[in-house]
Amino acid sequence: MDKLHLMTVYVAVAEAQSFAVSARRLGISPPSVTRAIAMLEHELGVKLLTRTTRHVRVTDAGQRYLDDARRILGAVTEADEAAAGINAEPRGHLTVTAPSLFGKMFVLPGIVEFLQRHPAMEVSALLLDRVVNMLEEGVDVGVRIGELPDSSMTAIRVGQVRRVVCASPCYLQAHGTPLTPDALLQHRIINTNNMGAGCEWKFGHATNAMTVHVRPRLSVTTNDAAIEAAMQGFGIARILSYQVAGLFETGVLAPVLSDYEPPAMPIHVIYREGRHASAKVRTFVDMMVMRLQDDSTLH
């Protein structure tokens, strides 16, 4: 069996930590993956992976081989692309993920521009309000809001967003403007269940940090719904800054408790392949990073 194929299978298994997941990513059967790993270990005379019923882990020798295999496969891909002229014209398929509303507002326009520039490309966009496992789901590029866990992904910071508390001017005129976080307990609260902290709204920085356990009159599953309810004058909502920046400018919604905002959350573009990323990934990432970093809404 071709050594580069064996390396490709090994890298896929080591990254996914699963024979079944790597088989799906590679489009081959699980027994084929098992045979490839066995053949590679036999040829090398070392154990690359330890297997249990639940986990697959690389050994010390396997980690060294993984680093070398990634470098070799990256160099081969670069050579192939240079010879075929692919660096000048990306082609193939990309899968991209982003949070749903952020993806609609910022990522999807970039995808459309990318496809218009590169007619040989196809893109699948997973715009979802959950953290997608990029390895298991075969995603090439992701946009993430919030602090990133340690991983093997390459991450490029492109901006930041803030959690902002807001209400319609008519609501504030009728019910008053809360001047401290504790005053929220006297107001009608609209809470979004997908924002991570549940009914605990955090405010302030470091030494003056505080948490208010709000009692929502209305709980919704999307920020779109919370924004709509706030626009209708029902109550006070906590939203991400980019989602309401235009509404603040037009006066449809007004920020409250701005002096108590918690620290901003970073936005990153992340991808799996590091400096050996394929031409299509590099081209898309470069374009998306430039678009997001140039957008004043995200700073």
Q: Is 94 within 8 Å of 122 (Cβ atoms)?
A: yes
In sequence order, what are the residues at sequence separation of 6 or more whose Cβ sits closer than 8 angstroms to the Cβ of residue 200?
211, 212, 213, 214
Residues of the chain with pLDDT under 50: none
Task: Look up the pTM and report it.
Answer: 0.71
pLDDT score for 178: 96
Angle between helical axes of 19-26 and 3-16 (0-180°, round to 10)? 130
Q: DSSP per residue over 147-181, as a string?
A: PPPS-S-EEEEEEEE-EEEEE-HHHHHHH---SSG
pLDDT digits (tens, 9 = 90+) for 233-264: 999 999 999 999 999 999 999 999 999 999 99
Lookup: tokens for 194 = 């997908």
Residue 118 φ/ψ, nearest 5 degrees: -125, 85
pLDDT tens readout for residues 39-68:
988 999 999 999 877 778 899 888 889 888
Q: What is the C-alpha separation between 87 and 236, in angstroms, rounded?
A: 50
**pLDDT score of 1:** 61
CA gap 267, 298 in Å, rounded: 8
- Per DSSP, helices labelled H in 233-278 are 241-250
Distances (CA, A) of 18 to 9, 50, 51, 140, 295: 11, 11, 9, 18, 39
CB 256 within 8 A of CB 138: no
pLDDT score for 218: 95
Give the whole-angstrom CA distance, residue 293 versus residue 157.
Answer: 8
CA distances from 99 to 163, 210, 214, 223 (A): 15, 27, 25, 11
Other beta carbons within 10 Å of 123: 19
Please name each of the domains of the chain with its CATH number: 3-84 (1.10.10.10), 92-158+265-298 (3.40.190.10), 163-260 (3.40.190.10)
Q: What is the pLDDT of residue 82?
A: 64
